[in-house]
Amino acid sequence: MITRSSALHLKLALAAPPLNAAMAELWRPDGLTERYGRYLRTMHEVIRASVPLMELAVRRCTALGPADPVAGPLADYLARHIEEERGHDDWLLADLAAAGLDPHGPLRQQPPPVVARLVGPQYYWVEHFHPVSLLGYITVLENNAPAPWLAERLAADTGLPGAAFQTVSHHAVLDTGHSAELGRILDELPLDQAQETAVAVSALHTVDAATELFTRLARQDSRTERTPDP
């Protein structure tokens, strides 16, 4: 019998080729130094939402209470994962500084619509459907960890110091274990059909939105996607 996590991974495998192509284009050597700086700024805009988003989901689980059989174990998992993810946005700021870029830049500008399209639906689904939806988003992020060799290759292609690639290096190691734990949680939670579908919808939307995000990063300056001044 196929497990719930395996079924989700099969769906994601079918959706993955455009995302994989966008990532390959992002890491092409020509123009990579400037593009890597944009990548760091954009990923900070994404990752700085991770802990607040999970904290919101925990509060929703608490509000649902013991009458919801999913809420308790989901909150326990998220509480652990919050501590695992805490401070990762600071890694990205340190990478920016090591690359000779302004580490305060991402905090001074409104994230563009393409970032909000990736992260924003999770807030809606957590608040207005069920916090278990967030597991689809987390699954995609954890399953697309950098390859172990990527940081070294990026350093060689850009000429930037190794200290500018700490986030890539750390996630290449950490996300493998996180993904395995998440798979176990997905299989153990007593999800009903609507909740299982919500996780899949969240995951597939995340793949689609991440593909758009990385395609834009690969092909143009993401600053052109900022919300225009009134």
Specify the CATH number for the domain of residue 105.
1.20.910.10
Domain contains 230: no
- Cα gap 192→23, rounded to integer Å: 34
Q: What is the signed CA dihedral for 145, 136, 9, 16, rounded to 10 degrees?
A: -60
Domain contains 147: yes
Enumerate residues 6+ apart whose C-beta is below 8 A from 181.
77
Domain contains 23: yes
Three-class SS of 46-97: HHCCHHHHHHHHHHHHHHHCCCCCCHHHHHHHHHHHHHHHCCHHHHHHHHHH
Domain contains 175: yes
One pLDDT digit (tens) per residue for the chain, 230 residues: 799 999 999 999 999 999 999 999 999 999 999 999 999 999 999 999 999 999 999 999 999 999 999 999 999 999 999 999 999 999 999 999 999 999 998 889 999 999 999 999 999 999 999 999 999 999 999 998 888 899 999 999 999 999 999 999 988 776 555 678 899 999 999 999 999 999 999 999 999 999 999 999 999 744 444 444 44
Domain contains 228: no
Nearest C-alpha neighbor of 146 from the set 176, 168, 178: 168
Q: What's CA 136's distance to the chain center, in Å?
A: 10
Domain contains 226: no
- What is the pLDDT, as a whole number, of residue 177? 56
Number of structural domains (the chain) is 1
The length of the chain, given as a count of residues: 230
pTM: predicted TM-score of the whole model, two decimal places: 0.91
Domain range spanning residue 108? 4-221
Domain contains 145: yes
Domain contains 229: no
